[in-house]
Structure 1
């Protein structure tokens, strides 16, 4: 539960990790990339849905909180799709990008991350306000403990990890 709460909320904050892929992609395999990205996209989407379900359960969301919860979950889904799309574009174009193009694309990913985080906070605030003291304590503890683990894990992650490896290592 704790892991899920932070992983969902930190998804946007940690999404730039997806952009730091150094694994080579064969220039002659764009069709293979497109075919391979569909299962990966489905897998990422399934992970987001799994975390949403786990978080819903662990926070003991009540029927009265469902409206706020649905808005928060929808933002998580939207942020996940946005970052996955940007990541796929980066992978597809990285062999042909100039250094300037690379920096501009990274800027786009970083801006999308910031915008997504803002939307996530805006959706979480009314939900958090509606939580009982017990639910707030669970959320507060989860955020504190998971953010510490994320920092520790990222310090030990291999800088040469591929995008997919980095994505699974951070479990956004």
Structure 2
């Protein structure tokens, strides 16, 4: 059970729910940034809904499990909105932030991600307990697979550091 919850936490930390895209760098006026981020926000919401639908289908959620499922899906939606709001703020302020402001904002995003993962685990636990042994195997495999994909995606996004000086200790 702990292994599954750890996999769930890792999945949530790197799943599309938390993957955020930025507005174009050329957009500098707040009105332009808000307009530019509107399509990105709807794309993020669509990704969250796609993930919810995909999980619902792959886990073969029964009508008896819908109450637990709904609570879990609502937390996924709330987490997605929270992270989207934080990233929108970051985009809007990126041209005026000092290095200290940048680190504080990154801390806020990281903390929100951790808090969201705790809420997600708390909502997933009763759902997981209600799953049949077959459904638990499906969940275990799904989360294990998604965690592997997230790890692979992170490796492709980050350039390898040329040395110790190239590595950042404050941001991934």
User: Is the structural similarity TM-score above 0.5?
Assistant: yes
**2-structure distance, mates of 1:41, 1:107:** 22
Change (3 A) 1:7 1:92: farther
What TM-score, normalized to structure 2? Answer: 0.79
**1-structure distance, mates of 2:19, 2:50:** 21
**1-structure distance, mates of 2:10, 2:155:** 20
Secondary structure of 2:89's match? helix
The answer to whether residue 81 in structure 2 is matched with residue 81 in structure 1 is yes
Mapping of residues 140-155 of structure 1, within 5 Å: 140-155=140-155
**1:153 Cα deviation after fit:** 1.9
- Which segments of 5 or more consecutive residues in structure 2 lack a partner in the other structure? 1-6, 160-172
**1:13 Cα deviation after fit:** 4.4
Q: Which residue of 1 aligns with 2:35?
A: 35
CA contact (8 A) 1:8 1:51 kept: no
RCO higher in structure (CA 8 A, sep ≥6): 1
The answer to whether residue 76 in structure 2 is matched with residue 91 in structure 1 is no
**1-structure distance, mates of 2:52, 2:153:** 22
**1:7 Cα deviation after fit:** 9.3
Q: Which residue of 2 aligns with 1:108?
A: 108
**1:96 Cα deviation after fit:** 0.1
The answer to whether residue 44 in structure 2 is matched with residue 24 in structure 1 is no
**1-structure distance, mates of 2:59, 2:18:** 27
What's the C-alpha RMSD, in Å, of the aligned pairs?
Answer: 2.6
- Which segments of 5 or more consecutive residues in structure 1 lack a partner in the other structure? 1-5, 160-172
**1:86 Cα deviation after fit:** 0.1
Higher share in helix: 1
Change (3 A) 1:41 1:17: closer
CA contact (8 A) 1:8 1:52 kept: no
Change (3 A) 1:16 1:38: closer
**1:11 Cα deviation after fit:** 3.6
What TM-score, normalized to structure 1? Answer: 0.79
